[in-house]
Amino acid sequence: MSRLLLAVAVVVLVVSAQRQDILSHAVGPCLGGRCQPGHTCYLENCVPQGLVPNRGRRALDFSTAVGPCISGRCPPGYACRQQQCLKL
């Protein structure tokens, strides 16, 4: 049990340190979920492309946005991502 707890603590520390390192390169906040060329939106901040690890998730397609999320909610068939309702 203590080994598992130690392993979880190490993973949390590594992920937290990685996130802080990425955010230290941020050039400003995302505007409407978008950033200037050469940058990508990560945790509501614009960071240089290539810094954010690819975890097998597809990129967000903001061309499918139908508008902002309202109280974190969107119409059926859409999900709230970076304060925008995007098609699932």
For the question of whether the overall pTM of this predicted structure is more than 0.75, the answer is no
**Exposure on the CB side of residue 17, measured as CA atoms within 13 A:** 6
What's the pLDDT tens digit per position in 18-56?
556 788 888 999 888 788 888 888 888 888 888 776 654
Confidence check: pLDDT of 17 > 60: no
Q: What are phi and psi of 11, to 5 degrees?
A: -60, -45
What's the pLDDT tens digit per position in 59-88?
677 777 899 989 888 898 888 888 888 887
